[in-house]
A = this chain, B = another copy of it.
Amino acid sequence: MIKKILIANRGEIAIRVMRSCKEMGIKTVAVYSEADRTSGHVLYADEACCIGPASSKESYLVIDNIIEAAKRFGADAIHPGYGFLSESSAFVRRCKAEGIIFVGPSAEAMIAMGDKISARETMIAAGVPVVPGSQDNLKTIEQMKEMVKTIGLPVMLKATAGGGGKGMRLIRQESEIEDAFFSAKSEAANSFGNDIVYIEKYIESPHHIEFQILGDNHGNVIHLCERECSVQRRHQKIVEESPSPLMTPALRAEMGEKAVMAAKAVNYSGAGTIEFLVDNDHNFYFLEMNTRLQVEHPITEEVLSIDLVKEQINIANNLPLRLKQSDIVQIGHAIECRICAEDTENNFMPSPGIIKQLTEPLGIGTRVDSYVYEGYEIPMHYDPMMGKLIVWAVNREYAIERMRRVLHEYKITGIKSNISYLRRIMDTPDFVSGKYDTHFIEKNSDFLLKTTYEGTKDETEDIAIIAAYVDYILNLEENAPQDTDNRPISRWREFGKQKAMLRI
């Protein structure tokens, strides 16, 4: 049985994994870059090892350094988290060669699912639906018409060399085919010097819905139902929920079955996610498989009352799955919001810096998975996500109400955050009604960027004026005219910048 796990990651996911390890009595080893000495995951771990400079290319992505740390501290397993090396088959192979358990799937499964084209072929062979179409070169208008007949309208005509919408045509009616074909080809030729085009089924109102699966080393695979992840901005998920408002029991059973087939097709072991595109008519298509834990895994944990990291570790310990498919019943509703250090009003510019004040929400139905703390300096080198806010309630309506409450409780200053943007999502009619797809953010962008909130503008402005004014007066009174903020720049003091020798 695994006794000590090195977590080859940083930030909230490293702490998330360590929490479950701690509960299981497993020792934890943190790795950290020079920029992360004061990061929460270093403080949380039993042991910690510096693995290089700030740049992740020189630290979190260096297989040698991580293996060396694992050996130095005698870790018998490595948990990769998400991102960084979590989908590196080379890393998996190296772990195997070194006799260290990798908490995740085999290198083979990773490779089979890692490449989009091979994944697509594997899925077709396994009977899992993929987006109809082909990336074959359509040379003639006859080929094109043939293909459209197979796929069915509407279709999207795309240029292989394309980008920025050039050479792209949405075709809804048969009469548009000919014109689209020739104009796209010539546009592509002019723009890219390459006139190769192909078509794909156009999915209207696409929903990004994914299924969590768990497989063990004994050939058992189950699915843990779906997560709705259509609230995305530039393919970055912002809010996720489970169950999906689009889902029906019949569709869930069908998609779940296909997800299990997909995982079985590559002898998958560990936790993984099958992403699907689903349209309003409940047609669904395999998109890709993520062969690791997802950022949004907590909403599955909440509605199913399980701990996915513990399940991962049990699987890595060669245990058979604890749960059967019939045990899996979603209860209630969970929503997750990703809390990011970014300036939503300024094109979502990242906002690294020092957290001056922090109040995290607590109480019934509230879960916070984060790694920052008051006085912590968020480094500029990594992802702007500070943590995740997860609520659970008996139904979707109550979950939204709870999310509004906890976003109200969440206070963070010193850096910009997306908290008020998330709060507005919770009030957007399309979200509240559950009728949204991946166009949600684009469609509601005006509503979402409204700057004032709650109460009249004048009233809240006056409150802000009062707060600043009173602080100003207090400082005058204290006769301590300080040039700048006397609150700490960073709570962490480098211990002796001057290289002094001191003898007391």
Residues of B within 8 A of A504 (CB): 473, 476
- Name the segment of A54-62, A149-157, A208-216, A360-368 touching the other chain: A360-368
B-facing mask of A336-374, CB < 8 A → 1, else 0? 000000000000000000000001101111111110011
CA of A305 to CA of B302 in the docked complex: distance in angstroms? 11
CA of A393 to CA of B19 in the docked complex: distance in angstroms? 13
Residues of B within 8 A of A394 (CB): 305-307
CA of A394 to CA of B504 in the docked complex: distance in angstroms? 55
The chain B residue with its CB closest to the CB of A20 is: B364
CA of A369 to CA of B365 in the docked complex: distance in angstroms? 11
A15 at interface, CB cutoff 8 A: yes
CA of A23 to CA of B370 in the docked complex: distance in angstroms? 23
Residues of B within 8 A of A470 (CB): 495
B-facing mask of A437-470, CB < 8 A → 1, else 0? 0000000000000000000000000000000001
Residues of B within 8 A of A306 (CB): 394
Q: How many copies of this chain sit in the oligomeric assembly?
A: 2
The chain B residue with its CB closest to the CB of A496 is: B477
B-facing mask of A362-404, CB < 8 A → 1, else 0? 1111111110011000000000000000000110001001101
A298 at interface, CB cutoff 8 A: yes
State whether A368 touches B374 (Cβ < 8 A).
no
State whether A405 touches B367 (Cβ < 8 A).
no
Of the residues B22, B363, B496, contact of A405 by C-beta under 8 Å: B22
A117 at interface, CB cutoff 8 A: no
Expressed in whole angstroms, the minimum distance between the Cβ of A484 and any Cβ of chain B is 17
The chain B residue with its CB closest to the CB of A362 is: B368
Residues of B within 8 A of A370 (CB): 362
- Interface range on chain A: under 10, 10 to 19, 20 to 34, or 35 or more? 35 or more
A97 at interface, CB cutoff 8 A: no
Which residues of A180-225 are within 8 A (CB) of B? none
Expressed in whole angstroms, the minimum distance between the Cβ of A224 and any Cβ of chain B is 14
Expressed in whole angstroms, the minimum distance between the Cβ of A144 and any Cβ of chain B is 52
The chain B residue with its CB closest to the CB of A363 is: B19
Given the interface pairs A305-B332, A374-B374, the reply to whether A401 lies near B25 with Cβ below 8 Å is yes
Known contacts A19-B364, A20-B364, A364-B369; 17 additional CB pairs below 8 A are A16-B363, A16-B364, A19-B405, A22-B404, A23-B402, A301-B364, A305-B331, A305-B394, A307-B393, A307-B394, A360-B360, A362-B367, A362-B369, A363-B369, A470-B495, A476-B504, A477-B500
**8 A-B interface contacts by CB (under 8 A):** A16-B364, A22-B408, A23-B401, A298-B364, A301-B364, A363-B369, A473-B496, A474-B495
* Chain A residues within 8 Å of B, Cβ to Cβ: 15-16, 19-20, 22-25, 298, 301, 305-307, 331-332, 359-360, 362-370, 373-374, 393-394, 398, 401-402, 404-405, 408, 470, 473-474, 476-477, 493, 495-496, 498, 500, 502, 504
- Give 4 closest A-B pairs by Cβ, nearest first: A23-B401, A362-B368, A22-B405, A19-B363
